[in-house]
Every structure is written in structure tokens, then in C-alpha cells.
Amino acid sequence: MTGIATPALPSYDSGAWDVPLLGDTIGDNLDRTVARHGDRDALVERATGRRWTYSEFAAEVDALALGLLRAGIGKGDRVGIWAPNCAEWTFVQYATAKVGAVLVNINPAYRSHELQYVLAQAGIRMLISAPEFKTSDYAAMIGEVRGECPDLEQVVLIGRSEWDELGAAGRAALETDRSPLDAARKGLSPDDAINIQYTSGTTGFPKGATLSHHNILNNGFFVGELCHYTEQDKVCIPVPFYHCFGMVMGNLACTSHGATMVIPAPAFDPAATLAAVAEERCTSLYGVPTMFIAELADPLFETVDLSSLRTGIMAGSPCPVEVMKQVMERMGMAEVSICYGMTETSPVSLQTRSDDTIEQRVSTVGRVGPHIEVKIVDPATGLTVPRGEPGELCTRGYSVMLGYWEQAEKTAEAIDAARWMHTGDIGVMDSAGYVSVTGRIKDMVIRGGENIYPREIEEFLYTHPDILDAQVVGVPDAKYGEELMVWVRLREGADALDADALREFCTGKLAHYKIPRYVHIVDEFPMTVTGKIRKVEMREVSVALLEEADRT
């Protein structure tokens, strides 16, 4: 009798979990937290020294919500927020949720033409904005484009009279008649669209990922669950609110657990972040890898007491192994978690756990999150690959967005008929369900028929004593189709590094075809405001540099 071969285990996993999904709206969930933890700190804004307990925070949110209703903003209306991290940002986040308005997050780095696109594409009726920040004159840019945005009826500048009037109208109503707010609450469903976040497109215009209460409240809650948050935790949030990392993994993770949101500065500042952790005794710290690199290198690092830190999240882009180890050892963040996700999935799909081994926490992005499914498929066939084989990472579950705002065709390209979100990332799932993300499908370099994943080379280069950070891109080559160029940031005081020296370091440790041919030394990498490396821009610059070198 012929034996039947046992099929290889497929690269599929689902997040079975004892704690059920939340069925609340964001506003109702906040009210439940206030009822339990009203006297505890909800929000601390370090730049101004302002602080709010949960009861005080809820009063500010309800007043602004009533102000929005009195201004004619209700369920389904789009309200834009264009500002750096500040307390007012969070008030707007929760107030719009309470009335059912759709909050549209606008990147603080946008210029006038990008602002105009978002205002028009989302049909924003009210724009709440900082008057200016750093070198950006937001008020002037709004003035430039307002005439081209027929849906835009109201502009409210934070700190100006119109902001004060909006809040004052709401506070007066709060004292006399809050029934409009109660009526608005009764008309809301957790499945309503509540947030539009524009993905940082590398070509063309960005797409507006549309998210529901159910999407982002649950994602924030379960990220917090895996970080073991309670009302005793204080979370330092230097990542931008305009992105899911700040407003979901930060704010919603806190308010769903009664923890404290700490805003260290309007924009990332390593010294301000370290000071906030030390002086507020934060138990958790967030950041993309470049932020942690900056904090570890800051002169203040050796002088501050970070002993309160227990956990935190490193996410947003691939997390270098060496940096992760330093964060755990030098910053005392023994339970630090790596999260993986994308705006379209609210954002987190995979996360490491506090009881994972060191190796699992430094070499993977963890396992599937609660109530979510993940699989890895062959990009050509769409079939699930066996564990251990690379393919495209896909995710499905409560966290997958409703779709791209008014872009049905783009939505269909990203979410298939079975509601799987195709991430475009290359992943490998091991036998225990842990996933390693080795790069973007579009970042893969094909040199002389060999598939090369830049992440593998970058991880190796972090072991060079003079290299602070490294990013590898492919550039055109007449003989091999593509060659490798590495952009390098050197440590302070390091000797100059050229291609020959780098090649010598790599020889015998990397396969010959993985050794970069070209080296470009830089002070900074081109990045999005959320800290993601812009490899498309790096490739364009690399090609121009090589063409210029050929001419000379």
C-alpha cells in the first residue's frame, strides 16, 4: 500500500483570543474609561505644561463635540485636522468621533498643492489647523487654495478667535442642553466610517484609507493588550498623531485602558522625548527605528533616568537587530514590542509578545494579532506557500479598511474578493507562526537573475563598527540588469568609508552578488514624516549620481 505524503504546513495563521472584540464606538468607549478612571491623568502636553484628568479631558471633548454640532457638522461630514502633535489634535480626534464626523488626517509636511488635493478629494467641510509650524505658514497656504475647494465652508485656526468661539459655544451648550450630543451618539454605529488617512504614495497622489470605529478602536485596544497596558501606564508618544502610529496605537491604546497619553513635543525631538520619559516616569515609549537611533545617540541619553520604562513599540519600518538590542539593554525596555502593519489595516497585523525569546523579538515582526488572519502567498498564483518560503504577506479581519475614499478601482486592486488585504511586502512564516518581513516586492533587486532582498544586506551592515544606519537600493546596470548601491550614515568620528573598504568587510561573509558595488555617504536619508525611508527617491538620486559620474 502506497503511503500518503503529509502536506507541508501552509503559511497561514489566525489570532484566536480569549478577549472578545469591542463593539463600542470610540465615544462610548471613552465614556466607559472616564467612568472608571475619571481622576487619573489622561493627557500631558509637555510643551505647554498643560494636563488633563480623564474627567477634564472628556469635558473638553464633549464641549468641542457640541461646538461642532452647533457649527453644522454632523454624521458623515469630513473634518480635516492639519497640525503637529498637540492637545487640541486629540480633542478633535475624539470630538469628531462623538458626533460621527469623519476625521481626515492631513500630513503636517504637506505643501499647498497637496493640501488642495486632500481638501477636494475628501470633500472636507471644516478644516481645523494650526496657524503655522516651524517654517510652514499653514494659514497662508489655506488662503492660497481655499477658492479651489468648494466643499470647504469653515476654517478654524487653533489658538485663534474662531477656535475659542467653537469651544465656548460647546461649553455653554454643555451646561444648558447636551441633548444634541446624546441624540448624535444614538445614531452612530461602530461600523461607520470615522477616519480617512492618506497613505504616503511614492508615485501619483496618495489614497485615502477609510477606517471605521470598529477598525481603529479594536486595533488600538489589542495593541495595548499585548503591551499589557493598565491605568498605571504612561505612554510617551513622539510619533505623529496624523498617522495610525500616533492616534491609534498611541491615543486609542491609552484611552481604551485608562493609561496616560504623554506628548513630549509638537514634533520629534530626541532630547525632549528622553526628558519626558524621565520626568513623567513613562512606562512605554514609541518610535520608528530612526527615532530610537537618535535617542541613543543624543548627549542627554547618559544623564537621564529611564528606569521607569517597561515596554514600548518600535514600528513603521524594518527594525534593525542591533538597534533593537540596544533599546532593550541600554534603555531598559525589556518588553519592547515590534509591530507590523499598514494604514489600510488600522494599522497592526503582527506583533511580538513580551514573553517571546530575544531572537524572536529581534529577527521577526511577531505573530498574528488577536482576531486577525494572515497568510503568505505566491504573488504570481495567489496560492498560499508552505511555511519557510517567501511570498506576499496578506491579512484579513476586523482591521481591514472599508476601502480607499471614493476610489473603488484602487480598493479592488488592494483587497481581493475574499477580503484579503494584499500588503505588497515579502514575508516568510516559520513553523511557529512568526513572520519575518524581508522587504517590499517592488524593492527586491534582481541582479544577474539572482533575487536579492536589501533587508538582509542592511542587517549585516549594522554590524560594521563605523556604520550608524544603512539602506540598500538597486540601480540599473548594463551587464547584470541591476547592481546594488548602499547609502550609509556613519557614526560620529568614524573614518571615511569607500566601496573598496566596504567590499573588504563583506567579502567572505556575504555572497559575492550581495556585496554593494557603490557606496554613497550621507548625513540623512530621505524620509516621510512618519520616518519611513523613501527608497523610490533614493533610487532616483542614485541613478542621477551614477549618470553624473559617467559624464565626468
What pLDDT is attached to residue 202? 43
* Domain boundary residue, one of 189, 209, 226: 189
Give the Cα-Cα-Cα angle 497, 500, 503 (nearest 5 degrees). Answer: 100
68 belongs to a structural domain? yes
Q: Supply the range of the domain harboring residue 184.
A: 53-189
Percent of the chain with pLDDT over 70: 98
pTM over 0.95: no
**Cα separation, 400 vs 349, whole angstroms:** 9
**Cα separation, 486 vs 470, whole angstroms:** 7
pLDDT in tens, 498-509: 989 999 999 988
As a whole number, mean pLDDT of residues 405-432 equals 96
110 belongs to a structural domain? yes
Poorest-confidence range of 271-280, 344-353, 431-440? 431-440
Q: Say which residue, 391 or 204, is predicted with more confidence.
A: 391
What pLDDT is attached to residue 454? 87
Confidence of residue 516 (pLDDT cuts 50, 70, 90): very high
Poorest-confidence range of 59-73, 237-251, 441-455, 469-483? 441-455
* Domain boundary residue, one of 139, 166, 189: 189
Percent of the chain with pLDDT over 90: 80
546 belongs to a structural domain? yes
Which of the 8 DSSP states describes residue 304? S
158 belongs to a structural domain? yes
411 belongs to a structural domain? no
User: Which residues, other chains included, contact 440 with Cβ-Cβ below 8 Å and sequence gap of 6+?
Assistant: 424, 425, 426, 535
Task: Give the number of domains in the chain.
Answer: 2
Poorest-confidence range of 54-68, 192-206, 260-274? 192-206
CATH number at residue 519: 3.30.300.30
Average pLDDT score, the chain: 93
- Which residue, 76, 75, 403, 62, is CA-closest to 215? 403
Give a three-class secondary structure readout of 183-240: HHHHCCCCCCEEEEEECCCCCCCCCEEEEEHHHHHHHHHHHHHHCCCCCCCEEECCCC
369 belongs to a structural domain? no
* Domain boundary residue, one of 165, 189, 213: 189
What pLDDT is attached to residue 342? 93
Which helix (H) or strand (E) covers residue 57, if one does?
helix 54-70
Confidence of residue 203 (pLDDT cuts 50, 70, 90): very low
399 belongs to a structural domain? no
As a whole number, mean pLDDT of residues 170-175 equals 89
- Predicted confidence (pLDDT) at residue 320 exceeds the cutoff of 70: yes
166 belongs to a structural domain? yes
Which of the 8 DSSP states describes residue 479? T
- Predicted confidence (pLDDT) at residue 201 exceeds the cutoff of 60: no
User: Which residues, other chains included, contact 245 with Cβ-Cβ below 8 Å and sequence gap of 6+?
Assistant: 239, 286, 288, 313, 315, 316, 347, 530
CATH number at residue 111: 3.40.50.980
- Predicted confidence (pLDDT) at residue 296 exceeds the cutoff of 50: yes
Number of residues in the chain: 552
Confidence of residue 358 (pLDDT cuts 50, 70, 90): confident
- Predicted confidence (pLDDT) at residue 394 exceeds the cutoff of 90: yes
- Which residue, 343, 351, 158, is CA-closest to 248? 343
Poorest-confidence range of 404-413, 417-426, 447-456? 447-456
**Cα separation, 64 vs 321, whole angstroms:** 44
pLDDT in tens, 85-126: 999 999 999 999 999 999 999 989 888 988 999 999 999 999
What pLDDT is attached to residue 101? 98
